[in-house]
Amino acid sequence: MKLSIKKLSCMALLVAMTMMQTSCDELLGETDNPAHDDDPAKIAVTAVTLDESTLEIVYGIGKEVTLEATVSPADVEDFDVTWSSSDETVATVDDAGVVHAVGAGTAVITAKAGSKKATCDVSVVVNLETPLTFEAAKAGVTVKFNKYDEDIVAPNVEYSLDGGITWKDDLTAAGVTLAAAGDKISFRGTNEAYGSRSFDDCYCFELSAETFVYGNVMSLINKDNYPTNKTLTADYAFKGMFGEQTKNKDADHQIFLPATTLTEWCYNYMFYGCTSLTTAPELPAKTLAEGCYDSMFQDCINLTAAPKLPATTLSQNCYVAMFNGCTSLTTAPELPAKTLKKWCYYSMFYDCTSLTTAPELPAETLAEGCYNWMFAGCKKLSSVTCKATDLSADLCLYKWLNGAGTDESVTTKTFYINSAYSAYIADMNGNLAGTADDDQINTNVPWIKGNKGIPAGWTIAAAAAE
């Protein structure tokens, strides 16, 4: 079929117009061209704005803020606003734009519609002025503060029912009943410690029904200067204080443990068995004392968020069984310390059956019992990074990964070791046995397979260099 000159000219013009459109797209970018929205028939979003560009939220008293997003033009249809946070350890945001404070710091909240977005800079500040407070989640809650399993009231303690305006010192072993949901009782005191070596001698709070608990626990230590006091002076300071309580709720409320100077066994068993606890309080101390976090959250079966653990100076037994039995915990906190102490991580994540990835273990020289039973029972664990090059300490790796990675959902298991052994890794995957019978490997690499080393069935790889 022959084409007339007129038809050929029309086709050439159509091609040129198409090329011109493509060139414009390339110059303008897809985000500025309405023809590239989800549906060309729809009106494109030209702008998204928020009612606030900056926010400051006080963390610790259940406060939340709702951001309002406006999409332009006004007649745009079918464009949902999607929300996100740059740091969910500071603030989260839901599908309705409700911002929840999670921890101190800064985060950027972004609202996006179509190809346009707007942001709000959020600053979360800690409120340490609220004393330790209990707020009834339902009517008729009774709050007691007695010696464990005895009718002996905690001494030298005052309470307030009006937000700290007036304080009373007539607390009895019968406790105080909060008549209506939302009623509150706050506590302050002058005792250096409420715990003791024996759990039976510790003073513990007891709640008769679901109750929100929040505020600064240092109000029990120094009633006059607690907002600025970050130093503990007596051993067993808060041992067992909420032990075996199943009715203390955290929700968006937060208990503060601001002390940066700790004492021996100060938080031992503090939240043991608190099955309603979902988020752990922050632990800012960078230098630890013996046994300070021992069994602190043991058997908190609904704990899903562990606190950051910034400590780089450890002490003997400091993290023993800290998250033992926390079956809902999926992610472990970072453990930055490079110098270890005896039994420092013993049973730390024992039976954390939902834990999928272990924190990196950067220490090159191990200490006696340091990783003993650390990840035993973590059946969903699929990755471990351990950069140790000196494994000679007694019992340092005894059954540390016993039963780890055994769940049927775990299809691959990778064990990352110090990159100094990169040249040996291929041979190690094939030849490293419990007896370390490969002479070259045995001479140059400290690792063996088995309960005191790398479990059978794990693939060995080099960890990323720092």
**Residue-wise pLDDT tens digits, 447-457:** 888 888 998 88
Q: What is the CA radius of gyration of the chain?
A: 29
Handedness of CA 438, 441, 444, 447 (dihedral sign): negative
Work out the average pLDDT over 273-286. 91
Work out the average pLDDT over 267-281. 93
Q: What is the pLDDT of residue 32?
A: 43
The confidence band for 157, taking pLDDT boundaries of 50, 70 and 90, is very high
Between 253 and 341, the more confident residue is 341
Residue 23 has pLDDT above 90, yes or no: no
**C-alpha distances in Å from residue 413, one per residue of 164, 384, 391, 456:** 54, 8, 21, 10
Read off the tokens for 84.
Answer: 């996100």
Q: Distance (Å, rounded) from C-alpha 26 to C-alpha 413?
A: 45
Q: Could you tell me what percent of the chain has a pLDDT over 70?
A: 86
Closest alpha carbon to 144 in 297, 265, 247:
247
Work out the average pLDDT over 152-169. 96
**Residue-wise pLDDT tens digits, 204-216:** 999 999 999 999 9
Determine the topology of domain 47-126 in CATH: Immunoglobulin-like (2.60.40)
